[in-house]
Amino acid sequence: MSNVENINLASMNMILSAGNARELYNQSMDCVENGDFAEGERLLARAEQEITEAHKLQTRLLQEAIEEEHPTITVLMVHAQDTIMAVDSEIRLIRRLQKLYRNQAWGKEEEG
């Protein structure tokens, strides 16, 4: 397998892991919106594992590129890195939104 093929394969795996993370945090938000905070937290933790896996692949590709005199950077690799950054930012926002949902739910319990 050529270097470009290896980079593209790793990039596709990065995109896959990031996409899995996005699906999991969307499911997590559905749970939290319905008051199932424990399941929401479990799904969000799985999403964070997926994005961590994507980051590990990204780090490996970047380390390999640094070691090369003329590194190969593909469009797919750039897209994969962009996807990871977007999903990572979304997960951080989702975590904050879920905290707001929990705080709001606890406030309602105190009122009732």
Catalytic residues, by residue number, are: 79
Between CA 76 and CA 97 the distance in angstroms is 31
CB neighbour class for 1 (10 Å; exposed up to 12, middle 13-18, buried from 19): exposed
H-state helical runs in the chain = 3-33, 37-67, 75-111
